[in-house]
Amino acid sequence: MKMFDSAAFEAHEDVHSFYDEKSGLKAIIAVHSTALGPAAGGCRMWPYADFQAALTDALKLSRAMSYKNAMADIGLGGGKSVIIGDPRTGKTPELFEAFGRAVESLGGRYWTAEDVGVSPADLAHARKTTRYVAGLEGHAAASGDPSPVTAEGVFRGVRLCVRRALGRELDGVTVAIQGVGHVGAYLAEKLAAAGAKLVVADVNEAALRMVAEWTGARIVAPDEIFDVEAEVFAPCALGGAVNAQTLPRLKARIVAGAANNQLAGPEIGQALFERGVLYAPDYVINGGGIINVAGEIRALEAGTAFDAHWVAVKLDRLTETLEEVLDRAAAEKRPPHEVADATARARIAAARAA
Ligand code: NAD
């Protein structure tokens, strides 16, 4: 076990592993930083091959949450939890109650929420044993589905990039959207309303048909989305959409979308920069969802109702932050992803020092 030497470790404050014999829970909670506030990040349930794979994922995701939360300016640090197990067969109420006890044992240093493989119904079981859970339904502080807020932030980010890189408004601009799920579908609606021409791809036929009906989007096969003649490529499906194979195929001048980890690696960010493609760093442009969750944590901590105005103000600020990152990248002739990382690290370091 080489946790401290792992590239993903990067100064985590604490990393915990939990085992509960009765429920069979095997979980890791990684707390990257609490400098800006309690660490917040979802819980992922996945059938990891072994403990090392789970640990590496927890560390990577936790650090990513730290950066995302720092850029969203929401008074939260970054953390993440993973449960080792198959979400299709391994879920029981007892497992999530045991997970809740694990979260509770950190005394509020970490707030959990849903992520891949974990639903609000699962979290309701965790809530029986800890109060540090966001993303539940049916209470005054509840924030609801974050996807519309994420989509609004991404929409504004795309509009900003189009203004900067193309010197025009969205009317008549072609946007290729990969993935029209929760966020992609809302984004498609907003872009169509602004006059953009859409080309969409998804592996889910029903979702595609619905979005095409609403927006008049042209449908292409999943693999064809990389070859589309479009000014903007908006990855809104899974991670790694822009990689060594797809990059040479892209015609877009802008890459801006909702997906997490859009670039297969930092070298792809460098390659986009060298090709003159404007890239909106994913964890900045898609921060609307975590802002929404932060609204819930804030309300739960204060014992008040969810404050949609606070979320709206933070979302405005998020677009300004994206603009500042792009300004600095242009002024320093550096790729935006590098500037975003540097800005996030500086914000965390300044809070640590204070
Ligand atoms: P989702 O699962 O609802 O949508 C993803 C869509 O991508 C699905 O319709 C799926 O069928 C499609 N898809 C999967 N593989 C594909 C492929 N190879 N080609 C084309 N389409 C494919 O998820 P979502 O909530 O809309 O999130 C989309 C992305 O945005 C994810 O990467 C997620 O991590 C990220 N994100 C979401 C939020 C949020 O608020 N939901 C916030 C921040 C980031």
Any idea what DSSP says for residue 217? P
Any idea what DSSP says for residue 7? T
pLDDT at 3: 82
Q: What residue type is assigned to position 93 of the chain?
A: P
> 183 CB under 6 A from ligand 1?
yes
Question: Helical H runs in 78-117?
Answer: 93-104
One of 60, 80, 91, 197 is an active-site residue; which one? 80
> 143 CB under 6 A from ligand 1?
no
Ligand 1, atom 14: nearest CA belongs to which residue? Answer: 237
User: 147-285+321-347: same fold as 3-62+77-126?
Assistant: yes
DSSP-derived 3-state class of residue 16? strand
The CATH number of domain 3-62+77-126, selected from 3.40.50.720, 3.40.50.880, 1.25.40.10, 3.40.50.10860:
3.40.50.10860
The whole-model pTM stands at: 0.94
Superfamily of the domain at 147-285+321-347: NAD(P)-binding Rossmann-like Domain (3.40.50.720)
In the predicted model, residues of the chain with pLDDT beneath 70 are 1
3-state helix, strand, coil in the chain (%, to 5): 45, 15, 40
> 182 CB under 6 A from ligand 1?
yes
Per-residue pLDDT tens over the stretch 211-245? 999 999 999 999 999 999 999 999 999 889 999 99
pLDDT at 2: 76
pLDDT at 1: 57
Alpha-carbon distance of 82 to 26, in angstroms, equals: 9
Cross-strand partners of 177: 200, 234
How far does residue 263's CA lie from ligand 1's centre (Å)? Answer: 15
pLDDT at 19: 98
How far does residue 286's CA lie from ligand 1's centre (Å)? Answer: 12
Catalytic status, residue 80 = yes
Give, for ligand 1, the residue of 205, 210, 236 to mutate: max count of ligand atoms closer than 8 Å to Cβ: 236
Q: What are the residue ranges spanned by the domains of the chain?
A: 3-62+77-126, 147-285+321-347
How far does residue 22's CA lie from ligand 1's centre (Å)? Answer: 35
